[in-house]
Structure 1
Amino acid sequence: MNALQTGQFYGQTNQKLQLGHLTLTDTEYTHPWVDWHYHENAYFTFILQRNVVEGNRKQTYTCTPGSLLFHHWQEAHYNQKPEGYTRGFHVEINADWFQAYEVQALQGSIDLQHPQAKRLMYNLVREAKRHECYTPLAIDALLVSLFSELTQAFDHPYLRQPSWVKQLRDLLHDAPEEPWTLNQLAGQLALHPVYLCREMPRYFNCHFGEYLRMIRLQKALPLLISQGQSLTQIALACGFADQSHFIRSFRAQYALTPFAYRKLFVG
């Protein structure tokens, strides 16, 4: 089985940034099939464009733009890429980084569905693209926050959550653009609206409005990178009332305009 060293991925690396114990790479995947292999460092994979299938000894994931995976070091896996341009961003983390910040790495290979974690990763990628004098500080801080967010999330494993939590998450993620109402969601889950409203923050760490805004914006991000639609089309497809509302929400969440974000990623 192949063992990949720091900064090594199958494909064409278009950007590589070494920041202390971190290695960040923006890579175009060029191999239709990559056999079983592992990496010497723990790392995140963040899919920016198109799709890729990844399998390990327990599960197989179909990764689309916005998918976020974590691999502990030496976790064996394989990859399969469909035809067309596919691009991913990687954050490799040397064991010394975990020791320096007293951060506990997650175990195994995990498909991370948490919107708060994805928001932090998008911000991390944005900082890497800007590459300014304070980039190392910003990226270290974002990565510490990301692990803190995930540690908190995994303190409440899905197996210990009521079944309606996963049902609600699936409803919202499958159709974030829908004009959901509290009564609609409560009816779908067979819960009282007051109970649902009260319990939502316990399992999602935020209220309905904030959560929906996050996942609507995350649906928009890969659409901005693909450049196939106008801002108005993206706004409507993601459930925003109009382009102005979309731009205001985007700036509040990511501290830059959708146009600036698109330019940062695609030039």
Structure 2
Amino acid sequence: MKILTKGQYYGIKDLEKSFNGILLSQYNYNTGRPTDWHYHENPYFWYVLNGNMKDCNTKMKTLCPAGSLMFTNWQETHYGSKHSENAAGFHLEFEKSWLKKNDINLTILEGSQLIQHPKIHFLFAKLYQEFLQNDTYSKIAIELLLVQICDALSDLRDSSTTQNIPEWVEHLKELVHFDNSDLNLKYLSEQLGVHPTHISRAASKYLSVNLGEYIRQQKLKKAIPLLLNIDYSLTTIAYEAGFADQSHFNRVFNSVFDINPSSYRKKLNKF
């Protein structure tokens, strides 16, 4: 079994930065065959920047298209394979000592998981932006964002273990994640068989934000990987992500990231 030490990944490294037990790197995946079975010395997050990848461990095989965010723990045996001509990814690796230093419970990061919650995607997208920006304040911003990501994962885990979550909530998440229809309360009620008022009142309890905010977050989550593809116009991206028009997309994006989509795209495609 191959063990990948700190900073070791399959593919061609484009950019790497390291500080305070955190290592960030961007890779192009050039091989057409699956990697060897292996595990990593340190835990890491993996964000698929473009292309289609598949992460395979002993329990499951997970398709990871552009925009997917995976967490893999240090003891997780797995291999990866590319399922498109071009693919690239961003890794954020951290030493276990970093978790202890920041008083983060190691158990919240067990196993391997595909992270779906939009809030964590936004935090990670902001972190990636700081990685590319690399100015005087980027290091401290990255550390703070990583702490927030771990806290958000902990909150989601605590919520799922302490609450008896109704089945319709998981169906609601699937609709918001994958359904491109007009996601108004009437439509969601018809699909779920749950009264609109109950959906509205209960959603914030199980989603950590109100339903409208969760839907907006999900739309932005869809938009981020599309911004990496320069063949898509901002108008097309707005439509594909489910916004009414580009103006609405610009306003919502700017309110979350404090930067307009056009400027953000230039940073993402810098390398």
Shift in Å at residue 7 of structure 1?
A: 0.7
Q: Would you identify which runs of 4 or more consecutive aligned residues in structure 1 move more than 3 Å?
A: none
In the alignment, what sits opposite 2:2?
2
Question: Matched residue of 2:37: which SS?
Answer: strand
Q: Which amino acid aligns with 1:257?
A: N
Superposition TM-score, scaled by structure 2 size: 0.95
Shift in Å at residue 241 of structure 1?
A: 1.7
In the alignment, what sits opposite 1:135?
138
Q: Give the conservation status (yes or no) of the 8 Å contact 2:53–2:84.
A: no
Indicate whether 1:54 and 2:58 are aligned.
Answer: no
In the alignment, what sits opposite 2:14?
14
Distance 1:112 1:220 in 2: 16
Question: Matched residue of 2:237: which SS?
Answer: helix
CA shift digits 1:176-233 (9 cap, x unpaired) = x422221211121111111111100011011121111111111111111011211111
Question: Matched residue of 2:9: which SS?
Answer: coil
Indicate whether 1:112 and 2:115 are aligned.
Answer: yes
Shift in Å at residue 160 of structure 1?
A: 3.8
Shift in Å at residue 156 of structure 1?
A: 2.7
Question: Matched residue of 1:35: which SS?
Answer: coil
Indicate whether 1:247 and 2:250 are aligned.
Answer: yes
In the alignment, what sits opposite 1:90?
91
Distance 1:22 1:232 in 2: 37
Distance 1:155 1:142 in 2: 20
In the alignment, what sits opposite 1:43?
44
Shift in Å at residue 83 of structure 1?
A: 3.9
Distance 2:14 2:239 in 1: 32
Distance 2:181 2:21 in 1: 42
Shift in Å at residue 254 of structure 1?
A: 1.0
Question: Matched residue of 1:164: which SS?
Answer: helix
Q: Which amino acid aligns with 2:15?
A: Q
Indicate whether 1:163 and 2:167 are aligned.
Answer: yes
Indicate whether 1:183 and 2:183 are aligned.
Answer: no
Question: Matched residue of 2:259: which SS?
Answer: coil
CA shift digits 1:65-122 (9 cap, x unpaired) = 1111111112110111124110110000101101110112311111111111111111
Question: Matched residue of 1:179: which SS?
Answer: coil
Distance 1:100 1:136 in 2: 16
Q: Which amino acid aligns with 1:7?
A: G
CA shift digits 1:125-172 (9 cap, x unpaired) = 001110011111101100110011011101133894210011000011
Q: Name the Cα RMSD after superposition.
A: 1.3
Distance 1:34 1:14 in 2: 19
Q: Give the conservation status (yes or no) of the 8 Å contact 2:222–2:241.
A: yes
In the alignment, what sits opposite 2:75?
74
Q: Which runs of 5+ in 2 are unaligned?
A: none
Q: Which amino acid aligns with 1:11?
A: G
Indicate whether 1:208 and 2:201 are aligned.
Answer: no
Q: Give the conservation status (yes or no) of the 8 Å contact 2:52–2:84.
A: no
Q: Give the conservation status (yes or no) of the 8 Å contact 2:21–2:94.
A: yes
In the alignment, what sits opposite 1:227?
230
Superposition TM-score, scaled by structure 1 size: 0.96
Q: Which runs of 5+ in 1 are unaligned?
A: none
Question: Matched residue of 1:161: which SS?
Answer: coil
Shift in Å at residue 31 of structure 1?
A: 2.1
Distance 2:205 2:211 in 1: 12
Count of residue correspondences: 266
Distance 1:167 1:241 in 2: 24
Distance 2:22 2:188 in 1: 42
Question: Matched residue of 1:187: which SS?
Answer: helix
Indicate whether 1:148 and 2:151 are aligned.
Answer: yes
